Amino acid sequence: MKYLPIAPKLYEQNRQRFIKKMKPNSVAIFPASPVFPKSGDGLYGYKPDADVMWLSGIVQEKTIVVLYPDNPDKNMREVLVLLQPNELLEKWVGHKLRKDEGTAISGIKNVQWLDGFDAMIQVMMNSADTVYLNTNEHNRLDTELPRTDLLFVQEVMKKYPLHNYDRAARIMKELRAVKTKEEIDITKIAIDITHKAYNRVLKFVKPGVMEYEIEAEITHEFLRNRATGHAYGCIIASGDRARTLHYEENNQECKSGELLLMDFGAEYGNYNADLTRTIPVSGKFTKRQKEVYNACLAVHNHGKKILKSGLAFPEYVKNINAEMEKQLLKIGLISKNDIRNQDPANPAYRKYFYHGVTHHLGLVVHDVGTYTDAVKEGMLFTVEPGIYVEEEQMGIRIENNIWITKTGNVDLFKNIPITVEEIEAAMKK
């Protein structure tokens, strides 16, 4: 890992949060995702299962976390299972964790090797009543693909068919949505690295640069500051390409007079930042660009103002959409007649604003969490309205990361240029 060691207190605290939700005499088993093959004998870069990471901090394939808080054997109440290192494996792929290293990262004192897992879990299953098994229950999961988490569930339930089974994901969805101070402290490092990259490209962008050159500047700044890399596919979209929400080709020239939409974030300690800014390639907004940008910024600021603990999330979305309608009316993109005659299922503002405005953020960029209940203290959200105008070949999106606290919300990107004047001044320097 490139990032500095993280105190195991974070993961110890997370495990206790999960344990408090478990039923009496139950065991929870969390296997990490494997390394996935490319064509030939190549492998994709490894990304640990977010729940295993949240519970242990371990970034290594074939890791398993087992929690059995009512186990009569006190030494078996928390167990970390690791792939056993061997000389040949390490000659090819490098260092694998030793038991003491697993304990230092996770705070779990009992570390076992993977080849002893089946025998160990059999003893636990013979005394446990309920078993928590984990699957990916993200609302936007592509369920057509084969899934290793389901294979593990099927194997356990086939071997032990008479136990009571429960879903760990339901608990995880609730817990991971509410961030602890320690999680926010790590996220702030990712935020700071993203801030540095943004400042770097503000000084770099000018007519004639290629989108991929800007991506390279961002990548350089990320890696030199110990980020693992990009939190997600970097979006560097100039001109009309900014209307494509997940544009990642980044292979075109940035031309004078165009706007440049940049959506990127650093990953540090497996926690993610998520920033979007739209800037003028030539360093100065035109009158019309400024007008549309300020409309988008007004919606962004409105969202930050109202997003507070206790607000029902559906009401928040409804309020944001009403503000977007107001701003689009103000800048002439929709008319009162459009609003009067609109289809309620497809309102007029959707022509220019066709995505959600907010998502949970954390170990996953689109992190787990509810979108139907009230906003809670500790949640971490994006606020990212956009205005996309096909007839003007223009796309504008503005995104910051907002932490909900007892006294209100905290904009973790509050210190970086966001207004027209701030952006123009920073680019002029």
Domain boundary among 176, 192, 224: 176
What distance in Å separates the CA atoms of residue 369 and residue 380, rounded to the nearest whole number?
10
Average pLDDT, the chain: 96
Q: Classify residue 271: in a domain, yes or no.
A: yes
As a whole number, mean pLDDT of residues 423-429 equals 94
Query: In this structure, are 41 and 148 located in the same domain?
Result: yes
Domain boundary among 176, 211, 239: 176
Q: pLDDT value at position 143?
A: 76
As a whole number, mean pLDDT of residues 325-329 equals 98
Q: Which long-range contacts (CB under 8 A, 24 or more apart) does 170-175 make?
A: 170/137, 171/18, 171/21, 171/22, 171/132, 172/18, 172/51, 172/54, 172/134, 172/368, 173/137, 173/368, 173/369, 173/370, 174/21, 174/370, 175/14, 175/17, 175/18, 175/21
- For residue 56, is pLDDT > 90? yes
- Indicate if the alpha-carbon torsion angle 22, 23, 29, 30 is positive or negative: negative
Task: Give per-residue pLDDT as tens, 246-264.
Answer: 999 999 999 999 999 999 9
The Cβ of residue 29 has, within 10 Å, a number of other Cβ atoms equal to: 23
- For residue 61, is pLDDT > 90? yes
The CATH number of the domain holding residue 396 is: 3.90.230.10
Query: In this structure, are 158 and 190 located in the same domain?
Result: no
Q: Considering the entire predicted model, what is its pTM?
A: 0.95
Which distant-in-sequence residues (6+ apart) come within 8 Å of 271 by Cβ? 183, 186, 187, 190, 362, 363
pLDDT band of 139, cuts 50, 70, 90: confident
Q: Classify residue 47: in a domain, yes or no.
A: yes
- For residue 136, is pLDDT > 90? no
The Cβ of residue 322 has, within 10 Å, a number of other Cβ atoms equal to: 14
As a whole number, mean pLDDT of residues 93-117 equals 97
Q: What angle do CA 165, 169, 172 make, to 5 degrees?
A: 125
Query: In this structure, are 76 and 122 located in the same domain?
Result: yes
What is the percent of the chain where pLDDT is above 70?
100
C-alpha pair distances (Å), 65 with each of 45, 58, 95, 331: 22, 10, 20, 54
Q: Classify residue 367: in a domain, yes or no.
A: yes
Q: pLDDT value at position 44?
A: 84
- For residue 138, is pLDDT > 90? no
- For residue 145, is pLDDT > 80? no
pLDDT band of 47, cuts 50, 70, 90: confident
Query: In this structure, are 73 and 50 located in the same domain?
Result: yes
C-alpha pair distances (Å), 218 with each of 86, 132, 239, 263: 37, 41, 19, 11
Q: pLDDT value at position 147?
A: 86
Domain boundary among 145, 176, 207: 176
* Structural domain range at position 128: 9-176
Query: In this structure, are 326 and 369 located in the same domain?
Result: yes
Query: In this structure, are 328 and 200 located in the same domain?
Result: yes
Number of domains in the chain: 2
Query: In this structure, are 27 and 139 located in the same domain?
Result: yes
Q: How far is CA 284 from the centre of its chain?
A: 32
Q: Which of 129-143, 186-200, 202-216, 365-379 has the lowest mean pLDDT?
A: 129-143
The CATH number of the domain holding residue 23 is: 3.40.350.10
Q: pLDDT value at position 174?
A: 96
Task: Give per-residue pLDDT as tens, 380-406.
Answer: 999 999 999 999 999 999 999 999 999
DSSP 416: S
As a whole number, mean pLDDT of residues 293-317 equals 97
- For residue 341, is pLDDT > 90? yes
Query: In this structure, are 109 and 222 located in the same domain?
Result: no
Query: In this structure, are 186 and 172 located in the same domain?
Result: no
**For every residue of 96-152, which 3-state class applies, written as one string?**
CCCHHHHHHHHCCCEEEEHHHHHHHHHHHHHHCCEEEECCCCCCCCCCCCCCHHHHH
pLDDT band of 34, cuts 50, 70, 90: confident
Question: At residue 381, what is the residue type?
Answer: F
